[in-house]
Structure 1
């Protein structure tokens, strides 16, 4: 388990690379991200490390997001400065979306997933696994459908996928030609990060969670990864339970602080 702030900072930075924003600005070493307001990860301040030296850092952050027509959002984790959360709360920022950063050893996950599939869901071993180094229309069509996202989000996820660093793999699981699960793996050094992992709702309870995690892990190992991580909403009990069964451990939590009304700043 990671035990120090430096490790938290490193993992937060690696995870941020897997979800690059359309536009970025900086207040010293803090990264301000904006992407049409779609997803908090791509529209928030990556507030890690020490506070900026500039005393007007909060005003500069709020002005940036007002100019984008967006609420001001901070990503607050164990890598953030002490008392940042309390300070933002005192300034009217609301807590939103508590999440967990979970990590595991790649070889252990691959072994556990394969054992569970072999013992409990042997038919899942017959699924076809397809991996593309770039996002395909088939993958994106399936992702929007399975997530029940509107067509208007296509361009955001298309562009996001293209901005993701290499090595990256867009994984599909198919049962007789039908897509039943999918996900994305991004490998940076020893770490593999998994995002956009979803199982078709008509095929849940069949071990496909183990199957897609095994496929993502196996591909990542081939790219040189030895460790892997996931970011998951803390209240998503089925997902957290699945990951814990695969050997994942929670390293730390994070959440967002959101301020919707920035008009007072602009009028002052």
Structure 2
């Protein structure tokens, strides 16, 4: 019988597939990821399941990140080994970026999102939905602009989106020819994962958050996704509230442990 921790591990394992790193290595069964230091998800140890069998697993992890000129980062969730968080804290790792894993029933989200859209007078006549199963230059241009990311990040996100498994869709909403919201949906089995969800800051509060979630959900349902999940920084109150209104529930939290100073490895 599946336990609660089994379910947490299952969700973590499908979620990790939505954010594939540029470079990775294995320390026993733990995935160690590096991607130019851009995003913690793509530059951290996926510490799920039991501890590695090698006694020197921590040294191997730190050597990996030191060789890439990066801090050592661990993804810590309820599917991680017991006491790992305290062990890393004792080794000088700082707690960073508490996040939530939230899930919902797809048909419920679709219905609730449509209701909120109607309250905001958003219809198919006022919003154009664009769906592409491959990354387009227009989508990536808009994503970098809305996130206010520098041009230097273009190659990372281009590669990340190319590596994402299929079926996937890059979805955007346009009003008056301008992209006002966008997101990426990735389906694995009966689950859809949503990433890169953002609404133009000048158009927030107008219902576009509900509209982009509706578009992502309905596309995912055509791919067989009956359930969906997303990961959100816990102090992002507007986003957490939006997801809660659509029926999302927090299943568990996760965070990172970061060790920035690996200079001791140079002299060891």
TM-score calculated relative to the size of structure 1: 0.98
Q: CA RMSD in A?
A: 1.0
Q: Residue in 2 aligned with 1:147?
A: 147
Q: Contact 2:122 / 2:207 at 8 angstroms: preserved in 1?
A: no
- The Cα shift of 1:115 comes to 1.1
CA–CA distance in 2 between the matches of 1:190 and 1:123?
A: 29
- The Cα shift of 1:36 comes to 0.3
CA–CA distance in 2 between the matches of 1:154 and 1:45?
A: 24
Deviation per CA, 1:6-57, whole angstroms, max 9, x where unpaired?
1111110100000000001000110000000000000000000000111100
Q: Residue in 1 aligned with 2:107?
A: 107
CA–CA distance in 2 between the matches of 1:172 and 1:53?
A: 45
- What is the aligned residue count? 266
Runs of 4+ in 1 over 2 A off after TM superposition: 123-126
- The Cα shift of 1:3 comes to 6.0
Q: Residue in 2 aligned with 1:252?
A: 252
- The Cα shift of 1:182 comes to 0.4
Q: Contact 1:124 / 1:211 at 8 angstroms: preserved in 2?
A: no
Q: Equivalences for 1:213-232 in 2 at 5 Å? A: 213-232=213-232
Determine helix, strand or coil for the equivalent of 1:20: coil
Determine helix, strand or coil for the equivalent of 2:122: helix
- The Cα shift of 1:177 comes to 1.1
Determine helix, strand or coil for the equivalent of 1:185: strand
Q: Residue in 2 aligned with 1:122?
A: 121
CA–CA distance in 1 between the matches of 2:127 and 2:100?
A: 30
Q: Contact 1:63 / 1:266 at 8 angstroms: preserved in 2?
A: no
Extract unaligned runs of 5+ from structure 1: none
Determine helix, strand or coil for the equivalent of 1:212: helix
Q: Residue in 2 aligned with 1:77?
A: 77
Extract unaligned runs of 5+ from structure 2: none
Q: Contact 1:72 / 1:259 at 8 angstroms: preserved in 2?
A: yes
CA–CA distance in 2 between the matches of 1:194 and 1:239?
A: 13
Matched, 1:237 2:237: yes
Determine helix, strand or coil for the equivalent of 1:142: helix
Q: Residue in 1 aligned with 2:132?
A: 132
CA–CA distance in 2 between the matches of 1:167 and 1:41?
A: 21
- The Cα shift of 1:124 comes to 4.6
CA–CA distance in 2 between the matches of 1:91 and 1:204?
A: 42
Q: Residue in 1 aligned with 2:176?
A: 176
Matched, 1:191 2:169: no
CA–CA distance in 1 between the matches of 2:4 and 2:186?
A: 24
Q: Residue in 2 aligned with 1:53?
A: 53
Deviation per CA, 1:97-135, whole angstroms, max 9, x where unpaired?
0000000000000000011111x1123543000100011
